[in-house]
């Protein structure tokens, strides 16, 4: 019996500390990246008011099913690929190094932008919380600077400290969602109906808009494979973390969305009037007036947890590209005690500062200028990476590079590539709805990750001696 060949960094290469993060840590890194409470207050609220309405509940179940199908083929490749390059390494395995490097540059741009956006949001909500509790007005960027400083510190100390912070952040959000669900069930039990699960409710109205925002709510789904070099439990642990996180997120989103639907006789009308206030208003109505301020604090913590997760993803993609000699080698330096990619982490913080500086200088509004750019880039990038990874599975199986059952190696990746590709097309066709703005500057934002992809592919093609983001072939 022969062992399966794997792609990994050899002992002589710059490596990250093994056994740094367990299944629970990977699960909560994924959960933290999605920031469930903030998704409820933004993406989900918009879907309830301007998308498919109450059918958002059922549509979450459908999208989770699509992602489960995607994961079947995706995790098949995890048996063969172990790299901080995440999905980019998977794409490289089946489609070649230029395609893998293009994917890595797309991810690097997207996750750096997301980390900056989450840091700005954490600062924004921290400013609101301080104003409500202390009556003092402190600019949001002051708290964002504090957030970035904490990211630099956590990035230097490695995943174990970040793991604890994201677990606390995620658990606090779960407690709030559970408390609100119980309060609504007790005070308005008649609101809990099966209507939101009916197909005629889920696939109606502005379906494209809801699909985009629901998919965004699952953003960061690839986190577990990014930590494959540092994970305890090997491939089995990664598979468990991926499926557990998907099930957990699906449960949280379905329950929280259903709670909002049950809490209001006309949730579509209420959410359409002011989607940003629906969560705080529902919390105050069913939990008490004290809940309004607490929700601000929880959203702050939620965004901070998301910032940690995206910061770590961006830092590891930069590390993988530098190890492949496609970015400056200084990014491969690791901390002596913690073996963390601390230089890449510091560079990510610096990039966030550069991205946010123009918004601060121009005194631009966080939600009408910054978030539209972030949401559009992130949505398209996530879909593109997942489609590429799915195609990579099919091609790798056709070339005999992997073995596996018919479903995992052929059917699942083919179906997920087609469905996710269709969603990607919907994003492009409804881009102004995704960003919430039809301004020309936002319309050209997708060209940034596209340009990064072209640069990465060309750079890799001109450096045939580079090992690529996937690492090195081991026998």
Q: What is the DSSP string of 377-411?
A: HHHHHHHHHHHHHHHHHHHHHHTTS----HIIIII
Percentage helix, strand, coil for the chain under 3-state DSSP, each rounded to 5:
75, 0, 20
The pair of structure tokens assigned to 140 is 């949001």
Distance from C-alpha of 88 to C-alpha of 99, rounded to nearest angstrom: 8
What is the rounded distance in angstroms from the CA atom of residue 255 to the CA atom of residue 263? Answer: 12
In a domain, 358, yes or no: yes
376 is a domain residue: yes
What is the Cα 158 distance to its own chain's centre?
Answer: 20
**What is the rounded CA–CA span in Å between residue 182 and residue 283?**
12
Residue 395 lies in a domain: yes
Classify residue 204 by its DSSP letter.
S
Question: Which burial class, exposed, middle or buried, applies to 465 when counting CB atoms under 10 A from its CB (0-12, 13-18, 19+)?
Answer: exposed
Domains: count for the chain? 1
User: What CATH number does the domain containing 300 carry?
Assistant: 1.20.1740.10
User: Can you tell me which residue has the tokens 């933004």?
Assistant: 42
pLDDT at 84: 57
Instruction: Please report the pLDDT score of residue 223 as a whole number.
Output: 64
Answer whether 297's CB lies under 8 Å from 68's CB. Answer: no
Q: Tokens at residue 7, please?
A: 């792609």
- Give the pLDDT of residue 19: 54
Q: Domain range holding 449?
A: 17-462
Are 471 and 7 contacting, i.e. CB atoms less than 8 angstroms apart? yes
Quick one: tokens of 212? 């985009």
Quote the tokens at residue 164: 């604890």
Chunked into runs of 10 residues, the chain (475 residues) has average pLDDT values of 45 52 71 74 83 92 92 83 71 89 90 89 87 87 94 73 70 85 94 91 83 79 64 70 86 93 91 79 87 82 84 86 85 71 90 90 75 76 90 92 87 93 83 73 81 89 64 34
Cα-Cα-Cα-Cα dihedral sign, residues 125, 30, 154, 351: negative
- Domain assignment present for residue 472? The answer is no
CA dist 236 and 47 (Å) reads 35
Instruction: Tell me if residue 52 falls in helix, strand or coil.
Output: coil
DSSP for residue 437: -
Q: What is the CA radius of gyration of the chain?
A: 21
Q: How far are the Cα atoms of 125, 127, 129, 229, 293 from residue 134, in angstroms, in the given order?
A: 14, 10, 8, 45, 11
Q: Give the three-state DSSP class for 5.
A: coil
**Cα separation, 132 vs 297, whole angstroms:** 10
Query: Is residue 117 one of the residues assigned to a domain?
Result: yes
Is 315 part of a structural domain of the chain? Answer: yes
Residues 6 or more apart whose CB falls under 8 angstroms from that of 256 comprise: 36, 40, 44, 177, 180, 181
Q: Does any domain span residue 8?
A: no
pLDDT (0 to 100) of residue 121 = 85
Q: Are 469 and 321 a contacting pair, CB within 8 Å? A: yes
Q: Pick the closest to residue 311 from 92, 99, 156, 139 (CA basis).
A: 156
**Residue bearing tokens 């590390």:** 319
The pLDDT value recorded for residue 337 is: 63
Alpha carbon of 188 to those of 136, 144, 274, 285, 286: distances in Å? 37, 39, 22, 11, 9
Residue 469, in any domain of the structure: no
| CA nearest to 316, candidates 233, 238, 228 | 228
CA dist 192 and 323 (Å) reads 53
What region, left, alpha or beta, does residue 158 occupy, with left being phi > 0 and alpha being psi -120 to 50 degrees?
left
CA–CA distance, 360 with 153 (Å, rounded to integer): 23
**pLDDT of the residue at 472:** 34
Q: Is residue 125 within 8 Å of 298, Cβ to Cβ?
A: no
Question: Nearest Cα to 19, choosing from 230, 163, 187?
Answer: 230
CB 127 within 8 A of CB 145: no
CA distance 252 to 258: 10
């Amino acid at each position: 019996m022969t062992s399966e060949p794997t792609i990994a960094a050899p002992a002589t290469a710059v490596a990250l500390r093994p056994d740094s993060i367990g299944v629970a840590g990977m699960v909560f890194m994924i959960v933290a990246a999605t920031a469930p409470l903030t998704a409820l207050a933004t993406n989900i609220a918009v879907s309830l008011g301007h998308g498919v309405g109450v059918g958002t509940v059922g549509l979450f179940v459908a999208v989770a099913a699509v992602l489960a199908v995607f994961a079947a083929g995706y995790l098949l490749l995890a048996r063969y690929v172990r790299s901080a390059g995440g999905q980019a390494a998977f794409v490289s395995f089946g489609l070649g190094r230029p395609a893998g490097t293009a994917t890595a540059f797309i991810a690097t741009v997207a996750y750096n932008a997301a980390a900056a956006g989450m840091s700005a949001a954490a600062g924004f909500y921290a400013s609101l919380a301080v104003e409500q509790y202390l009556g003092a007005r402190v600019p949001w960027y002051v708290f964002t600077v504090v957030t970035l400083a904490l990211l630099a510190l956590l990035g230097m100390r490695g995943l174990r400290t970040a793991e604890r912070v994201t677990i606390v952040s995620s658990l606090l959000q779960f407690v709030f969602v559970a408390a609100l669900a119980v309060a609504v069930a007790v005070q308005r039990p008649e609101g809990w109906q099966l209507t939101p699960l009916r197909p005629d409710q889920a696939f109606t109205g502005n379906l494209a808009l809801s699909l985009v925002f629901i998919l965004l709510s699952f953003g960061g789904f690839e986190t577990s494979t990014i930590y494959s070099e540092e994970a305890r439990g090997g491939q089995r642990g990664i598979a468990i973390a991926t499926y557990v996180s998907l099930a957990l997120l699906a449960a949280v989103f379905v329950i929280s969305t259903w709670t909002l639907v049950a809490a209001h006789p006309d949730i579509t009308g209420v959410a359409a009037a002011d989607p940003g206030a629906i969560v705080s208003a529902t919390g105050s109505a069913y939990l008490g007036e004290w809940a309004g301020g607490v929700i601000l604090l929880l959203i702050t913590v939620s965004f901070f947890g998301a910032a940690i997760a995206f910061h770590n993803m961006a830092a590891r993609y930069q590390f993988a590209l530098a190890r492949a000699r496609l970015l400056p080698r200084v990014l491969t330096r690791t901390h002596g005690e913690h073996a963390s990619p601390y230089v890449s982490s510091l560079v990510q913080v610096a990039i966030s500062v550069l991205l946010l500086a123009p918004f601060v200088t121009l005194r631009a509004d966080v939600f009408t200028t910054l978030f539209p750019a972030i949401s559009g880039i992130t949505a398209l990038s996530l879909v593109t990476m997942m489609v590429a990874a799915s195609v990579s599975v099919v091609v790798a199986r056709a070339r005999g590079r992997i073995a596996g059952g018919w479903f995992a190696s052929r059917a699942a990746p083919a179906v997920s590539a087609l469905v996710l590709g269709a969603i990607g097309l919907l994003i492009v066709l409804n881009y102004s709805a995704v960003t919430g703005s039809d301004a020309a500057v936002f319309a050209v934002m997708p060209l940034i990750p596209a340009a990064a992809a072209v640069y990465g592919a060309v750079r890799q093609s001109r450096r045939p001696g580079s090992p690529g983001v996937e690492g090195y072939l081991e026998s």
